[in-house]
């Protein structure tokens, strides 16, 4: 999984770094492994299959434009080579083939053995076919508008990732013309999975796919014509919004206008049925101006992501993971004052093992407390849950100064964030959009409270988002503090984001793009120097991605000086591990579990000097140079040890869900050779508040 690109060569050595895109695909292979595991409940296996499909969609939408198009300009610029483009295409095709083989040969039969069937037209009996036909005529056909192609009816606009059919017709149309091709666009308002009523299911529970319903009744859409070859198809389009912030007067309006066109960006991938006639596939390929490598023939529904609906329709909790109920944060009083607790010291909340309700309790107390004067918050991916919005609205109603730094450019959350911004502005909150040219990715919530004659600040920092739904699915660290230096830094940073004035010198916070990257480099070099003179030198880093070349080179240099380095990197990692003479002292592992690993924890030990940081930032160039990011130190000895134990040591000893990166660039699951407890499993057992559990 190496790349031949010269800019990825490590300084001072001839070794090659790993290819970022192949590393992203390798991460998805590790996720797909969960869908293959027979010990995992079958509906959860289907969920992992859908997650991989969703991840591949995003890979194509964001990363694959030059890869799939294979433009000469990209190759000439040195960003890609013909070999790297071919390797990406080969790996993607192989993964898609594995997905559909698993779906057809394993998951569907396993569900059928449990009494749940997904019926094709050929498998439906006469009564079921009558019900499906009635459903089609009543619910589906009125929403379909077949378009016969001719000079007056050109190829219609096909939205990104939408379900469509291409149909070849024989005979003449109503005007005696032999227009042979028609397109049927399927509205997104229609459910992709339909449950059949029990009365036609013969003692089982049966479902049909919308694509199968339409496929069986295509002829009814073309009276007087004969339907010949046909195929469902789906096109993926480049969807990364780009606006020139220097050239626009209103970022929010520009993004909202851009969202209208996102669904019709440049095509980068075409999916058709495996039995699609060659001439139809070629017609579509030329229409979307795609090379051969961008056409994927799939043996099943063209959008596996939409099978998430099947998981919700199957009434079988025994086919899901056992329920897990997170505990209320152990360091917070369930009914007492969070402010009073923070006067005693900082608080760590380890999500999702501890509930996000602790963060909401902090905000709720701030909203209801008449002594609280101001609330400031960053919003990156807040989601659709209204709890936090309702609290901020109530804060404004109670006369508090509410400031929200809303990142409008959070990829694929632009519309939700625009709506948040507009709602907050409509109730009188101060809304700002951060710094031109930089995404605000830092997660901060700052409360200013009058206590006697002084104003005291209370803050919340996090490695994750203010999103209640993902807080139950992602591992993150929330950090509550009344430390005057940290909260003063937070206040200064909020002022910087609002006024764009020069950022004052920070006392405790490290802020990108100003000094986070440089400070990480300094810490790595200090560890390397300590190791070179024979003193202890240790680095343990947990993050989601490691692709920043200077940081990678600094880690390799420190390892070559004798520092012992463990990197727990969930996704893309370009650093080659355990390569003789290059990275002998560096181990890289990835942990894939029930929850998405998302916390960022950085530990350094240079001689006797230890430091531990939590951060919103991965070690990627974009995080270090094109975003407002934060890292903050954890100095309380008990909290430091808790974070080290739960976020680092537990993962270094994971014997179930961890994958180690081998010198050849391949990942190998450790649980296959030395099975043991998984880090997430152990943490769930520690924090499980489900009634009847320990």
Just list the catalytic residues.
441
* Three-state DSSP state, 614: strand
Picking from 682, 599, 593, 472, the residue whose alpha carbon sits closest to that of residue 31 is 593
Instruction: Give the residue among 245, 627, 631, 633 at the shortest CA–CA distance from 405.
Output: 627
What b/e sequence results for 561-581 when a residue is b if at least 16 CB atoms lie within 10 Å of its CB, and e otherwise?
bbbbbbbbbbbbbbbbbbbee
Secondary structure element (H or E) that encloses residue 558, with its range: helix 549-560
Match 């990364």 to its residue by tokens: 240
Residue among 63, 60, 62, 75 at smallest CA distance from 294 = 60
Q: Are 529 and 591 in contact (CB under 8 A)?
A: no
Cβ-in-10-Å burial (0-12, 13-18, 19+) of 226 comes to exposed
Q: How far is CA 66 from the centre of its chain?
A: 21
220 by Cβ neighbours in 10 Å (0-12 / 13-18 / 19+) ranks as middle
> How far apart (Å, rounded) are the C-alpha atoms in residues 368 and 361?
10
Burial of 280 (0-12, 13-18, 19+ CB in 10 A): buried
Buried-exposed string 435-474: b where 16+ CB fall within 10 A, e elsewhere: beebbbbbbbbbbbbeeeeeebbbbbbbbbbbbbebbeeb
Beta strand pairing status for 537-543 and 439-440? unpaired
């Amino acid at each position: 999984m190496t790349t031949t690109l010269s800019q990825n060569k490590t300084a001072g050595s001839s070794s090659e770094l790993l290819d970022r895109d192949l590393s992203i695909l390798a991460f998805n292979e590790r996720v797909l492994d969960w869908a293959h595991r027979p010990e995992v409940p079958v509906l959860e296996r289907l969920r992992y299959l859908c997650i991989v499909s969703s991840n591949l969609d995003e890979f194509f939408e964001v990363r694959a434009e030059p890869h799939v198009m294979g433009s000469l300009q990209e190759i000439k610029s040195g960003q890609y080579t013909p070999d790297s483009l071919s390797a990406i295409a080969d790996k993607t095709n192989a993964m898609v083939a594995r997905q559909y083989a698993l779906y057809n040969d394993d998951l569907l039969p396993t569900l059928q053995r449990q009494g749940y069937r997904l019926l094709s037209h050929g498998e439906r009996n006469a009564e079921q076919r009558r019900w499906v036909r009635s459903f089609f005529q009543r619910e589906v056909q009125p929403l379909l508008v077949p378009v016969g192609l001719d000079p007056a009816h050109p190829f219609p606009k096909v939205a990104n990732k939408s379900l469509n059919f291409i149909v070849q017709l024989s005979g003449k149309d109503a005007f005696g013309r032999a227009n042979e091709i028609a397109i049927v666009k399927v509205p997104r308002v229609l459910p992709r999975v339909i449950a059949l009523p029990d009365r036609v299911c013969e003692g089982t529970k049966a479902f049909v796919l919308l694509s199968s319903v339409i496929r069986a009744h295509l002829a009814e859409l073309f009276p007087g014509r004969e339907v010949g070859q046909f195929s469902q198809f789906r096109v993926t389009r480049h969807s990364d919004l780009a606006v020139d912030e220097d050239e626009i007067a209103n970022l929010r309006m520009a993004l909202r206008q851009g969202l209208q066109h996102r669904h019709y960006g440049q095509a980068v991938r075409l999916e058709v049925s495996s039995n699609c006639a060659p001439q139809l596939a070629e017609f579509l390929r030329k229409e979307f101006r795609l090379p051969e490598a961008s056409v994927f023939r799939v043996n099943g529904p063209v959008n596996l992501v939409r099978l998430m609906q099947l998981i919700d329709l199957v009434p079988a909790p025994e086919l899901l993971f056992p329920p897990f109920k997170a505990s209320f944060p152990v360091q917070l009083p369930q009914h007492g004052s969070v402010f009073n607790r923070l006067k005693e010291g900082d608080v760590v909340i380890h999500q999702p093992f501890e509930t996000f309700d602790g963060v909401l309790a902090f905000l709720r107390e701030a909203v209801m407390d008449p002594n609280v004067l101001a609330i400031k918050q960053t919003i990156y991916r807040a989601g659709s849950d209204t709890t936090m919005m309702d609290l901020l609205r109530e804060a404004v109603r109670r006369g508090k100064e509410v400031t929200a730094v809303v990142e409008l450019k959070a990829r694929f959350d632009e519309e939700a964030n625009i709506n948040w911004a507009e709602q907050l502005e409509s109730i009188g909150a101060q809304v700002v959009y951060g710094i031109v040219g930089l995404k605000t990715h830092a997660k901060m919530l700052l409360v200013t409270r009058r206590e006697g004659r002084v104003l005291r600040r209370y803050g919340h920092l996090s490695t994750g988002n203010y999103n209640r739904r993902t807080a139950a699915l992602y591992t993150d660290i929330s950090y509550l503090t009344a430390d005057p230096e940290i909260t003063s830094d937070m206040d200064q940073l909020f002022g910087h984001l609002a006024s764009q004035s020069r950022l004052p010198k920070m006392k405790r916070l490290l802020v990108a793009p100003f000094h986070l990257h440089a400070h990480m480099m300094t810490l790595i070099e200090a560890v390397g120097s300590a190791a070179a003179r024979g003193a202890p030198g240790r680095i343990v880093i947990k993050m989601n991605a490691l692709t920043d070349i200077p940081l990678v080179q600094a880690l390799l240099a420190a390892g070559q000086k004798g520092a012992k380095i463990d990197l727990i990197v969930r996704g893309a990692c370009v650093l080659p591990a355990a390569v003789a003479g290059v990275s002998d002292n560096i181990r890289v592992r990835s942990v894939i579990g029930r929850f998405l690993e998302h916390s960022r924890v950085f530990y350094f030990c240079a001689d006797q000097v230890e430091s531990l940081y939590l951060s919103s930032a991965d070690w990627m160039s974009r995080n270090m140079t094109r975003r407002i990011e934060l890292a903050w130190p954890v100095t309380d000895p008990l909290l430091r040890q808790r974070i080290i134990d739960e976020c680092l040591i537990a993962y270094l000893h994971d014997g179930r869900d961890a994958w180690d990166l081998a010198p050849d660039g391949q990942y190998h699951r450790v649980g296959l050779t030395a099975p043991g407890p998984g880090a997430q499993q152990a943490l769930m057992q520690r924090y499980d508040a489900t009634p009847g559990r320990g």
